[in-house]
Structures are given as C-alpha cells and as structure tokens.
Amino acid sequence: QQERYVSLRDQPAESDDGVRVRLTMNAGLMADLPSLESSGAEGVGLFRTELQFLTQSRVPRRGELAQLYSRVLDRAGDKQVVFRTLDIGSDKVLPYMKPQDEPNPALGWRAIRLGLDKPGVMRMQAQAMIRAATGRKLTVMFPFIAQLQEFRDARELFLREVERERRMGHILPTEIKIGAMLETPSLAFSPAQFYDEADFISIGGNDLKQFFFAADRENERVRRRYDTLNVSFLNMIEMIIRRCAEAGTPLSFCGEDAGRPIEAVTFAALGLRSLSMRPASIGPVKHLIRRTNLAQLRKVIDTARGSGAQSVRPAVIEYLYKPHP
Ligand code: PEP
Ligand code: MG
C-alpha cells in the first residue's frame, strides 16, 4: 500500500476522466513542513496557528511568530501556505486566558468573535504574518466567520495592520489574499457579496458538519450519527460550490473528511477542485481520484439523491468497488 502511494507522489491527482484536483496538506508546526515533499502535497491549504499559543504559559511574542511564519514560508518555497488566524475558545483553551464559564463553549465566544472583540492578539498576529511575508505572497483566512459583516471587519482589521506596516517603512508582501473559512451554515446562505468579497473560501467541514446537524464533534454519542454523505449536507456543499463558481471565487475543503477517499471523490464529483488534508491521506485520496470517472460518479450520486436515499454512501461504494468488467 505505502509503496504504491510513494510511486504516486509526483503524479497529479487527475481523475480517470481528466479532471484535475488540487491536493494540499494541513499543518500546524514547523515539523510538519517536510511532509510537503514526502506526501507530494501541492501546498499547505490550512496552517493552524493555535499550537504556538496553546503550548506556552504566555502569549507568544510577535518576533517569535514572525520568525516561525517566515521559516514556514521559506520551507514551502513556491508552494502556497494558507495561514489561519487564531482559532481558540471552545475546545482550545489558552492556559493564560481567564476561563469563560460558558454553558456551550462550541457556540460561544471563540475564534474570530474573540479576535474582533479583543483585537490585540489578532493585530499582533497580523503584524507577524505581514513581516514574515515581506517581498512574497501572503495568504490568510479567518476561522468561524458567521456573517458577511464579520468577514468585512476582520479583513479591515488586517488591512489596517498592512497600512501601518507600510507607514513604518517595512517592505510589504507582494500580494495579500484574504479568505474565510466557511464553517457555519449561516455563512453558506449569506448575501452574494460575501462570495464576491472573499478572495477565497475554505470549507471547515468539521465545524460545518457539527453545526449543520446540531451534533457535537466532541461527543462520542453523536459525532458519528450523521453521515457526511447525507443528502442534506451534500445539497449544502453543492450550493456553496455553485455560489463560489458564480462569484469566480476559489473554493477548497479542509476538514477531516477531505482526507477520507470516499468523501473526497464524492466532493470532487460534486465539483470541488481543491482539498486539504493530513499528509498521510494524500496518497490514498489521490489513488482513488485517479481511478474514478467523476462524471459517471456524479450520475450515480444524482440518481441516489433522486431516489430519496438518506445518504449517497451505499451507491457511491457500490459504484467505486463493484467489479469492473
Ligand atoms: C474545521 O472545522 O473543519 C477545521 C478545519 O478547523 P478545526 O478542525 O481546526 O476546527
Ligand atoms: Mg473549525
């Protein structure tokens, strides 16, 4: 198995009917970066920046962060790195933060909500990213955006720091792309302006799914209760794909499901062209994409949806693994 995946490393993730899918990896530490070469990932589709904040007894300093982000960009070379701004609160509690005592932390004061209400840390992090990317491209996205105005406010906050760096005479990044994670159902249904104004969108399927089904991703009793290939969920994914296409906005998917081969080919058949996953998943996902005819799989999915099936999984599995004559 492993050897087969190694031999695929430098092959494109191109389906049997010629559709190219971009496969990138998720990371959060400098130590993850060597996987860029060993896995054949085309970039880092999600760099989670929480770890540096969770593993210390104080807020990391701007210089430390700038140095780390700069080394990450150095190591990635020509490959794109998408930095996600701090996503804390909920299950990720900072040791030096006052406990919030919230009845439902996953629905509480977390991620961008915290970043907008207490912008000091987010501003510092923005400065670190801008400095790390002087003279090269910078790509950032905000976690847990629930409505257009939050995206506008976060982007404005970030761009104010760019302006500040410019006034201070620092060399700026050559290009700055600012996107949003789509991980609340409300954002999927937002005004079209959201899809137009985001430079790119990345579906955070772990959170999107827990909020869509109202099923806690941390709760063993319910976390596997609803299938990702549930027709209702796929209908929403398909709508997001369509709305991004209408706006001409690049879309990717960076939740754990992107790294599951059956889920990944199903998303690709629905029109997703970029998936970000843990490095070890790239080989298995690429292998299945390469042997799948996405147009045919799409017909199978549509037939299953039309039949009133709750999940398209049985039909997809039957199609993928039935003996081919
Ligand atoms: C997600 O929610 O799918 C995601 C990628 O972010 P995290 O798992 O860090 O919440
Ligand atoms: Mg998330």
Q: What is the pLDDT of residues 141-167, one digit of tens each?
A: 999 999 999 999 999 999 999 999 999
pLDDT tens-digit series, residues 90-118: 777 788 888 778 889 899 999 999 999 99
Distance, CA of 237 to CA of 253 (rounded, Å): 10
Query: What separation in Å is there between the alpha carbon of 169 and the centre of ligand 2?
Result: 35
ipTM exceeding 0.95, yes/no: yes
92 CB neighbour count, 10 Å cutoff? 16
Residue appearing with tokens 């869509």: 212
pLDDT tens-digit series, residues 21-63: 999 999 999 999 999 999 999 999 999 999 999 988 899 999 9
pLDDT tens-digit series, residues 241-283: 999 999 999 999 999 999 999 999 999 999 999 999 999 999 9
Judged against a pLDDT cut of 90, whether residue 313 lies above it is answered with yes
Quote the pLDDT of residue 325: 61
- Band (pLDDT 50/70/90 cuts) for residue 182 is very high
Mean pLDDT value across residues 178-193? 98
Lining ligand 1 with CB less than 6 A are 46, 48, 87, 183, 204-207, 254-255
Atom of ligand 1 minimally distant from the CA of 26: 5
Residue appearing with tokens 């799948």: 292
Identify the CA nearest to 255 among candidates 147, 181, 311: 181
Quote the pLDDT of residue 254: 97
Atom of ligand 1 minimally distant from the CA of 143: 6
Residue nearest to ligand 1 atom 8, measured at CA: 206
Query: What separation in Å is there between the alpha carbon of 205 and the centre of ligand 2?
Result: 7
Query: Degrees (nearest 5) of the Cα angle 259, 264, 266?
Result: 160
Mean pLDDT value across residues 227-233? 98
Quote the pLDDT of residue 173: 98
**Candidate of 206, 216, 233, 275 to mutate for ligand 1, largest count of ligand atoms within 8 Å of Cβ:** 206
Judged against a pLDDT cut of 70, whether residue 89 lies above it is answered with yes
- Band (pLDDT 50/70/90 cuts) for residue 322 is confident
Judged against a pLDDT cut of 90, whether residue 6 lies above it is answered with no
Quote the pLDDT of residue 111: 95
Judged against a pLDDT cut of 80, whether residue 2 lies above it is answered with no
